[in-house]
Copies of this chain bind each other. A is one copy, B any other.
Amino acid sequence: MEKEKETKTLEEEQQVVNPWEVSAKGTGKIDYDKLIDQFGCQRLDQSFVDRVFRLTSRSPHIFLRRNVFFAHRDFNEILDAYERGEKFYLYTGRGPSSEALHLGHLIPFMFTKYLQEAFKVPLVIQLTDDEKCMWKDLTVEESKRLARENAKDIIACGFDISRTFIFSDFDYVGGAFYENMVRVAKCVTYNKAVGIFGFKGEDHIGKISFPPIQAVPSFPSSFPHLFSGIDKLRCLIPCAIDQDPYFRMTRDVAPRLGYNKPALIESIFFPALQGEKGKMCAGDPSSAIYVTDSQKDIKDKVNKYAFSGGQDSVENHRKYGANLEVDIPFKYLSFFLEDDEELEHIRKEYGSGRMLTGEIKKRLIDVLTELVERHRTARAAVTDEMVDAFMAVRPLPNMFN
């Protein structure tokens, strides 16, 4: 089943979603149901949310309750195994292409932190500085510097150092990790890679070499200092759904190498301020709220750029209500406003026109300012020594406690 999906050309489907491009023809809006069908993954329905609640005795994360993480592959198997008393490990990552992260970048890390706490499992975080060096016009040195800067933002999300290993590819590629890269590369033809990633003849061979590098953290043997002797430990990957092609490839290859297929739990994209047309663009500062933005930046950006679903006059707004399907302030609140009741209240009042856009934007500015301030304070406390400590190649003695 999975293999069939892979060979389908995404262009034919009118929307292109891969690690480097997210675009939809026609409406410009990603059709996530269609994407699930295209990719061959499963929808994460309410039964999963309930089950996670039951298994962890912890309120499910807002991103789980609100369907931000909306799709999965074999997450049920992870939960089955966990219920039997087996552990797993988490793997996520970031391509360090810019100095400052925006809110969309934080989403997988905020969610992964919750999973780590809820399930009490180890976590590996890959910083693909090599990828960014190859894709962007960045030197090796600049990519490595950005990786360390981004590591500080990641650490600021509150990961438990006794269960977390952060590594950059430039630092860590070699040894058992490299051996697995070779094993994976042997299993993927160029034609197959073109089918999955859409490579072109004018792409450089660095790009074509990269997919195994993102694949192998899915295999415990890539981390002998962590998982020596537990080669069958399952891996769960929280990520945005644009990363799915890497892991479709990985899952295809895993059984041929004697490894478990990694499981995935996948998020929708965090929309740009200007509206829901795929991912935000790190190169356009007005399209996103950055973790470095001041209170004034946040206020200005929300007021000036956040696409509103409100009507063009107060009269019409009172009459027809806001179009919540396209309203960015409401969407952002649904990602970050913790209080379910308040969000429901806003949905009704704003959707029916009793609340005005200005009120919603004000509430959003407050929520984002608090979030960004909290992050800024946490990041300021992250020292270079802490980065070194998280990135040290070391055992994690309390991994499963």
Interchain CB contact under 8 A, B206 and A208: no
The interface residues of chain B lying within 8 Å CB-to-CB of A173 are 173-174, 178
Evaluate contact between B174 and A134: CB separation under 8 angstroms: no
- Could you tell me the distance between the alpha carbons of A133 and B200 in the complex, rounded to whole angstroms? 26
Q: Which single member of B134, B170, B185, B205 contacts A190 (CB below 8 Å)? A: B205
A396, B170: Cα distance in complex, Å? 25
Q: Which of A174, A191, A200 has the most CB of B within 10 A?
A: A174
Q: Which of A151-209 contact B (CB under 8 A)?
A: 170, 172-175, 178-179, 182-183, 185-191, 193-194, 199-206, 208-209
> A179 contacts B209, CB within 8 Å?
no
Which residue of B130, B182, B188, B208 is within 8 Å of A182 (Cβ)?
B130
Nearest B-chain residue to A202, judged by Cβ:
B189
Of B185, B201, B202, B209, the residue contacting A185 (CB under 8 A) is B209
> Is A140 close to B, CB under 8 A?
yes
Nearest CB of B to A133, in Å: 6
- The reply to whether A201 and B205 contact each other, CB–CB distance below 8 Å, is no
Q: Which chain A residues numbered 94 to 145 have a C-beta less than 8 Å away from chain B?
A: 130, 133-134, 140
Whole-angstrom distance between the alpha carbons of A202 and B191 in the complex?
6
Question: Are B179 and A193 neighbours in the complex by a CB distance under 8 Å?
Answer: no
Q: How many residues of A contact B (CB 8 A)?
A: 34
CB distance from A205 to the nearest CB of B (A): 5
Q: How far is the CB of A391 from chain B (nearest CB, A)?
A: 14
Q: Could you tell me the distance in whole angstroms from the C-beta of A136 to the nearest C-beta in chain B?
A: 10
- In the assembled complex, the Cα of A178 lies from the Cα of B182 at a distance in Å of 14
Q: Are A179 and B140 in contact (CB under 8 A)?
A: yes
Identify A206's interface contact among B182, B194, B206, CB under 8 A: B182
Q: Which residue of B lies closest to A134 (CB)?
A: B186
How far does the alpha carbon of A208 sit from the alpha carbon of B211 in the complex, in Å? 12
B212 touches A190 (CB 8 A): no
Q: Which residues of B contact A193 (CB under 8 A)?
A: 205
Please name the residue on chain B nearest to A200 by beta carbon.
B190
Partner of A178, one of B134, B174, B199, B208: B174
* Chain B residues, CB < 8 A from A201: 189-191, 194
Question: Does B170 lie within 8 Å of A179, measured CB to CB?
Answer: yes
Residues of B within 8 A of A186 (CB): 133-134, 204, 206
Q: List A residues 203-249 near B (Cβ within 8 Å).
A: 203-206, 208-209, 211-212
Name the residue on B nearest A188 (C-beta). Answer: B205
User: Which B-chain residue is minimally distant from A141 (CB atoms)?
Assistant: B179
B204 touches A185 (CB 8 A): yes
Across the interface, A204 reaches (CB within 8 A) one of B174, B188, B206, namely B188
Give Cα A170 to B180, complex, Å. 10
Distance to closest chain B CB from A206 (angstroms): 3
Residues from chain B with a CB closer than 8 A to the CB of A178 are 130, 170, 173-174
Asked if A134 and B185 sit within 8 Å, CB to CB, the answer is: yes
Q: What residues of B have a CB within 8 angstroms of the CB of A133 in the complex?
A: 182, 186
Nearest CB on B from A271, distance (A): 32
| Shortest distance between the CB of A165 and any CB in chain B (Å) | 17
- Min CB distance, A337 to chain B, in Å? 42
B212 close to A189 (CB less than 8 A): no
Q: Does B206 contact A211, Cβ atoms closer than 8 Å?
A: no
B residues within 8 A CB of A175?
Answer: 174
3 smallest beta-carbon distances between A and B, as pairs: A174-B174, A185-B206, A209-B209
A residues in contact (CB < 8 Å) with B: 130, 133-134, 140, 170, 172-175, 178-179, 182-183, 185-191, 193-194, 199-206, 208-209, 211-212
> What are 11 A-B pairs with beta-carbon distances under 8 A?
A134-B182, A134-B185, A140-B179, A140-B182, A170-B178, A170-B182, A173-B178, A205-B209, A205-B212, A206-B212, A208-B209
